[in-house]
Structure 1
Amino acid sequence: MEINEWKTILPPVFNTLCHEVRIQDAVIEWVDIIFEQIGTASKCPPHAHTWFEFNYVLAGQMETRFSGDSITVQEGEFFLIPPGMVHSHVYTRGNPHEGMCFRWRLACAELEDEKAEDSLYARLHRLHNWRPGSYRDEDGFGRLLIQFLEEATVSRSELGLQLLLVRLLDQLSLLQQDMEGDAKSTRITQDPIVRKVEIYLEDFQGSHLNVTELAASLHMSYGHLSRQYKKLSDNTIVERMNQIRLEKARDLLLLPGSLISEVAEQAGFADLSYFSRAFKKHYGQGPQSYRREYDGKE
């Protein structure tokens, strides 16, 4: 069956699947199951959302951007967007793509028994750590999609269709696990002190970094920790903290309607003028100028 035929007859079937389903200890709420409908749009501006989004290109190509990095997604490739990740899309004029899009939310069901470490919820929750990019389908996701479309056409079995979708998500989680294994094998060569400081800084949510408290958490004096970190990373701890905050601010700036003052506060900068100076020093232009230039590239 051709894609256009599926696009005609299957949307009502997809609508019946858009509700919560519980499988083992995972509660999955399907927000959308759709064929991409581009119409006359040439782009989708930078935004983020509270759900996961999986996109698979069945034909043609599209351009997706994560934090300003442009990626071309071609036929037989896919990408996954976890909640909160800023992204945008640009569609090729004269070469519209055909694709499928799944959006879902994930919650953990309450169980009487203690949850297993490798439960379905735990596996699917790993997808929060998905690395942005376009991935060539080498794991049979396209075959699963075609099976899903064919069964939706002939059987209309809601349970069977739901299980196929969950199987696709679980297969994504296994791919994520493999990628995390590769990342861990790379990170293991990093000095333990640098790795521990990086973890602390990435998780830190406050506006004032207490480096003495950080050193104490590693059972070291602040002087010794700062000297070791500088020697191993070529950055001071405060410099690295500012880098992480500025990277976060850069992503927040691309959200439609965000105010510069709000971006500064959410990124951990208490002083707006200091934030503007630091941003300009790091990126070569002020926050407002950076935003205008990015919008001009859309």
Structure 2
Amino acid sequence: MDLEQLKSLLPPVFNQICQEIRINDAVIEWVDIIFEQIGTASKCPPHAHTWFEFNYILSGQMVTHFGDELVQVGEGGFFLIPPGTIHSHSYTRGNPHEEICLRWRIRPASTEKADVQGESFFTRLQRLQEWNSGSYRDNGNLHGLLEQFFQEALTGQSELALQLLLIHLLEYLSLLQMTMQGQVTSSTAVKDPLVRKVEVYLEDFQSSRLSVGELAASLHMSYGHLSRQYKKLTGQTIIHRMNQIRLEKAKELMKLPGLRIAEIAEQAGFADLCYFSRAFKKHYGASPQNYRRQTAANEST
């Protein structure tokens, strides 16, 4: 579905979910969720908000000013504006932009109702107050979250389910903030939900043949669209990732001395022993037989 259709069908849904939701010790109030319309305006004068504002550029480009800093933001880019940050916008003539804009406020839940274990969720979200101004390129995670949000909004998911998707987006931004400050490594970032679902399916798949049609159908997508999205988000194909998972499983099975190589290949999901041997050697630098011998020798020393 194209952007014009989304802009026509989704605003009523956005209006319905603009309300408060409590998660652990935090209350999130959705102030606005809109596809921003600028009409014929060429600029927006300096101003500040009492809320957080997240802007994701879906097409075109715009320029945002944070004080004396000028930032150009194009398709697939985003910026986040914490409360109280003075900023202004200017728009490129002949190249209008389209964006999705999320606005929210947060406050701590009352202490007598909050049941907090570990780090405070409110603290994690409040950390976004320290977000460094500027334009950021999306690595695909935010686009995947927004696309899932749009699709589930179109299919009539509950207000709670849609709000939780947006909470997931805020949590991702919070972890990204921690990564930029060196507080966590990038490996702890939230995995895109589509990627997570695909990998759960692949890891659970026991047959020697992957039913790509079944995988796509379980996600309510065509296989072509699923393949394109997965490669965009991960940089690799579903088949490549499937083989990685099967080879990892085969390596673990190598530790069982009672299993023959042919049995390992079959249990790992490879129907062809020759293909398995070639793939294993390419991935681990040794044939299955040599890898098993080397591992056994290393463990005996």
- 1:12 is aligned with what amino acid? P
CA deviations 1:178-213 (Å, max 9, x no partner) are 112279xxxxxxxxxxxxxxxxxxxxxxxxxxxxxx
How far, CA to CA, are the matches of 1:178 and 1:13 in structure 2? 33
Q: Find out whether 1:128 has 2:123 as its counterpart.
A: no
How far, CA to CA, are the matches of 1:154 and 1:139 in structure 2? 22
How far, CA to CA, are the matches of 2:115 and 2:32 in structure 1? 31
How far, CA to CA, are the matches of 2:116 and 2:129 in structure 1? 19
Q: Find out whether 1:67 has 2:103 as its counterpart.
A: no
- 1:70 is aligned with what amino acid? L
Match of 1:177 in 2: 178
Contact 1:54 1:79 (8 Å CA) reproduced:
yes
Instruction: Compute the displacement of 1:122 (Å).
Output: 1.1
How far, CA to CA, are the matches of 1:156 and 1:115 in structure 2? 28
Match of 1:168 in 2: 169
Using CA pairs under 8 Å that are at least 6 residues apart, name the structure with larger relative contact order, 1 or 2: 1
Q: Find out whether 1:138 has 2:139 as its counterpart.
A: yes
- 1:72 is aligned with what amino acid? Q
User: How large is the Cα RMSD of the aligned pairs?
Assistant: 1.6
Secondary structure in structure 2 of the residue aligned to 1:163: helix
Secondary structure in structure 2 of the residue aligned to 1:151: helix
Match of 1:51 in 2: 51
- 2:125 is aligned with what amino acid? L
- 1:95 is aligned with what amino acid? N
CA deviations 1:250-270 (Å, max 9, x no partner) are xxxxxxxxxxxxxxxxxxxxx
CA deviations 1:66-107 (Å, max 9, x no partner) are 012111001001000000001000011111011100000000
Instruction: Compute the displacement of 1:138 (Å).
Output: 1.6
Matches within 5 A, 1:272-283: none
How far, CA to CA, are the matches of 1:182 and 1:60 in structure 2? 33
Percentage of pairs with the same residue = 61
- Structure 2: give runs of 5+ residues left out of the alignment: 185-301
How far, CA to CA, are the matches of 1:80 and 1:117 in structure 2? 26
Contact 2:149 2:165 (8 Å CA) reproduced:
yes
How far, CA to CA, are the matches of 1:21 and 1:71 in structure 2? 33
Contact 1:148 1:164 (8 Å CA) reproduced:
yes
Secondary structure in structure 2 of the residue aligned to 1:181: coil
* Count of matched residue positions in the alignment of Structure 1 and Structure 2: 183
Match of 2:218 in 1: none
Matches within 5 A, 1:226-265: none
Q: Find out whether 1:149 has 2:147 as its counterpart.
A: no
- 1:76 is aligned with what amino acid? G
Match of 2:195 in 1: none
Contact 2:24 2:115 (8 Å CA) reproduced:
no
How far, CA to CA, are the matches of 2:110 and 2:12 in structure 1? 31
Secondary structure in structure 2 of the residue aligned to 1:71: strand
Q: Find out whether 1:37 has 2:40 as its counterpart.
A: no
* CA spacing shift, 1:56–1:75, aligned 2, 3 Å: same
- Structure 1: give runs of 5+ residues left out of the alignment: 184-298
Instruction: Compute the displacement of 1:119 (Å).
Output: 2.1
Contact 2:14 2:34 (8 Å CA) reproduced:
yes
Contact 2:25 2:115 (8 Å CA) reproduced:
no
Contact 1:13 1:156 (8 Å CA) reproduced:
no
Instruction: Compute the displacement of 1:116 (Å).
Output: 4.3
Contact 2:62 2:92 (8 Å CA) reproduced:
yes
Match of 1:236 in 2: none
